[in-house]
């Protein structure tokens, strides 16, 4: 949408990163289903690469998977594909997002928590 554009008329990178973070959260919640944790927080966003511009009127689809599992953390790879009415689907942006599983402690604060998941 026009509100998502930067001053050269293509998708604003900050908007793209926000959508990628949301996509990573969805991957995270699937990964953590049934573990008893209360949520997951983004700890790091790395290797963001804007490979192709995205133009107004196009849509963006996100694909993601868990690539590494640590103790409380896990790494999510997100690929963003742009597609339009007259142009083929193309890889527009990639990122690696580290999420941390959290649980509420006795002070009502969210703290890291071992998720117990492996790949």
Ligand X SMILES: CC(C)(COP(=O)(O)OP(=O)(O)OC[C@H]1O[C@@H](n2cnc3c(N)ncnc32)[C@H](O)[C@@H]1OP(=O)(O)O)[C@@H](O)C(=O)NCCC(=O)NCCS
Question: What residue ranges bind ligand X (CB under 6 A)?
Answer: 41-44, 70-73, 98, 100, 102, 111-112
Residue closer to ligand X, measured from CB, 7 or 107? 107
Per DSSP, 2 falls in state: G
Smallest CA-to-CA distance from 78 within 27, 3, 4 is with 27
Q: Which residues contact 80 (CB under 8 A, 6 or more apart)?
A: 16, 19, 20, 23, 60, 61, 62, 91, 92, 93, 94
Q: How far is the CB of 68 from ligand X (least distance, A)?
A: 9
Smallest CA-to-CA distance from 62 within 23, 14, 29, 30 is with 23
Q: How far is the CB of 96 from ligand X (least distance, A)?
A: 9
> Which residue in the shown chain puts its C-beta closest to ligand X?
70
Residue closer to ligand X, measured from CB, 85 or 109? 109
Give the separation between CA 82 and CA 97, rounded to whole angstroms. Answer: 20
Q: How far is the CB of 114 from ligand X (least distance, A)?
A: 7
Q: How far is the CB of 7 from ligand X (least distance, A)?
A: 27
Smallest CA-to-CA distance from 27 within 67, 55, 83, 58 is with 67
């Amino acid at each position: 949408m026009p509100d998502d554009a930067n001053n050269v008329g293509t998708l604003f990178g900050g908007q793209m990163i926000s959508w990628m973070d949301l996509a990573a959260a969805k991957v995270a919640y699937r990964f953590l289903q049934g573990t008893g944790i209360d949520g997951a927080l983004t700890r790091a966003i790395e290797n963001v690469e804007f490979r192709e511009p995205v133009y107004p009127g196009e849509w963006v689809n996100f694909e993601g998977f868990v690539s590494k599992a640590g103790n409380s953390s896990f790494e999510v790879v997100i690929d963003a594909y742009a597609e339009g009415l007259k142009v083929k689907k193309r890889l527009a942006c990639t990122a690696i997002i580290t999420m941390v599983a959290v649980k509420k402690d006795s002070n009502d604060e969210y703290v890291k928590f071992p998720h117990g998941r492996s790949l």
